[in-house]
Chain A
Amino acid sequence: MFPKTLEYHVAPAVNSFIDWLVVDHAVFFDAVSAGILSLLLKVNRFLIWLPWWSVLLAVALLGVYATRRPLAGLFLGLLLFPIGMFGLWPMAMETLSVVITAVFLALILGVPVGVLMAERRGASLVLRPLLDAMQTMPSFVYLIPAMMLFGLGKVPAVLATLIYALPPVIRLTELGLRQVPQAVEEAALAYGATRWQLLREVRIPLAMPSILAGVNQTTMMALAMVVVASMIGARGLGQEVLLAINRIDVGRGFEAGSSVVLLAIVIDRITQNLARRWEPPTR
């Protein structure tokens, strides 16, 4: 047994620190919270407002555009049908709105950070261990800081999802920019490209397939996390899974679980094929 006398708790200190942070900087956290919430609600309201068949149609059309194969696109649209059939349509839209909001924020934050890391060695050296830590941490752990700062509900769910999903887009943006062939960069410089022109005309377009692969990864991670985030109050499919676990209701769990899988397949296929469309022509 570990001796009782050596026991020492940091929990009270952490609690009082968080209390201090949240109370003294309430304005900041309230603003962030309100911003995220209003974005989330707008996305959600729009998705709910859309008739179910129009979502299927939109996914099918997007699928055709992305895969360039009409049948594959049609199939992707039809994959969403069982979700509605199980009566989980509103929950799926709720889940989707958290994913969309989190991914949107992840891209706004992640792409510039990736560019910064590729441009400046220093930034890369400082941020890489941080990203490693973010990716090694079990997803559950992200619930704690999100909950600490924003309590329970949708906003901390978006935030936990955001933190969990952020690393891939940063990493793949940096990687893509670093992989641009030296010869192409040199030629652009020789013709008088400024640093900004080099980035905009050469490096980012050439890194685009990699950046979009990052978007794909980030979206998939967000979808995985949003299920876990139901523990701190994200409604939607995750909540259904959680309820099914608590009630040992296998059938309900199967319906909710397979809905998540279907959603994941559709999003993955579409974003992956969109990334492929951005590759430079080989013929």
Chain B
Amino acid sequence: MLALRHFLSLALQTLRRNQIQAVLAMLGVTVGVGALVTSIALSRGAQQAINEQLMAVGANMIVVTSGNYQVERSQDAGAVEADHGSIEPSDSITPFLVRIPDSQQLGQSQNPRFLTADWPLSDAFSSNARTSMQSPRFIKAHYEDDPNAQHDHPTAAERLGDTMAGLGAAATLSVDDAQAILNQLDGVQYVASGVHENARVSIPAAGGRSWFTRLHGTEPDLPQIRRGWVFPHGRFFTQDHYRNTEQVIVLGKVVADRLFGADTNPVGETVELWNQPFEIVGVVGSSSWAAQPAAGDDQFDAIYVPLSTVHELLNLSMLNTITVTTRSAGETTAVAEQITAMLRQRHGISEQMPDDFIVRTQAEQVLGNGLPPQVARVVSGNMSTVDNITIEQISHSLERANATMMALLAGVAAVSLLVGGIGVANLLLLSVTQRTREVGLRMAMGARARDIASQFLIEAVILCLIGGLIGAAAGYLVSGSLEGLLQWSTSVSIVSMVVAIVVAAILGVLSGVYPAHKASQLDPIGALHHE
């Protein structure tokens, strides 16, 4: 188009000559394109936020726990009795038994998803299991393992005290196991081994103010696994701290708030643990709405100490847990299976014997929270089907809400674009009338109908493009300020801005078609003598 510059200056003349109409017409296009860009930015932002939150919650996390109180009994309840004779149903120690339907039944009937547990189930063996032709499966667990259960006798922790309880006989995982998982399995991103204790931290300086909480002896890589973590004060302990078994401690937000008050920076202060001084190097909080610090939770009502220090002080060598993240959330199930196979081999467990550890994905743990323990166990016993559904359901419901908002904004965009298009068409019709003589002159000079038509089409497109460019810039700014002022997640994509500008150009063509056709069909003589 060699004459483009000429037509560009003509379009700008039209703009200048009919400023109010041009501004109004372009305003519609601007608002439309701006709303389009903003709605795409908001939608993408929400999508990213959802993904980040799911990752922060730990959708890609696997936790391997020492010991296994959930021994599955298959087919015949009596066999369990033979294999694990140590757990006898009796009046004093009642094993933890939950009846669950087999998988076939689970697949066919939607409701109830699992049967209500009867617990204690003293006559479970005699009546239910033996007579049932459905061959129910049983999960058996040590009753002291149930955190919500009331006991009429002192538990191990109570009998032995915090410092003496140690890891117990069930500590089956070793530091070497953790190394093997990291080094030998595909799809593994980070591995952090851990020892978990209940402990009391106190501030000697403040007259011994103390807080009873959960202690995690762990590795410096843990923040890589806990993606939702933020450090309002200080930072996590380092490889140097870890290597030198230093007595440093990271407080969970809840612990820091209880001991020092909400707005105090406790980094550099000393707390006492196991009658030893520990220097505070950081406070850990959450960036995720899905996991806000609360008293009693496992992450923020907790303290973190280098595992090496814990091992040295308590003279221990084994682990309670190995926490693993996979490169993507979709790999967790496969990696979990590989971990199980590897650990069984490393621990020399024969085919008939149950695992001496438990491999669980984070989804199972999340699901277990807030459920009655027996139900939680049933759920986790059937996780292979449940975890995918649940994570999908969470994200689906979030996406549905997001889609509704997106549709609303897209509606605003569509209406604005329609109004803008009508405005541009109107402006051009006005311009055709004003410039009838000019059209006649151009025809006399040899302009063909299509030359005239393309002149007005170019004008319409230029007007809409100007509106569209302003709109795209406005959308960008609005998205930015929504993020800044309202903390909404937005993500402006270059593609969405390009698409919006292309939409504006198409709008220009559509709104220019009728005026352009009208101008091109003018009679040259009549047009020339038009006043």
Q: Answer yes or no: are A and B bound together in one complex.
A: no
Binding site for B on A (CB under 8 A): none
Binding site for A on B (CB under 8 A): none
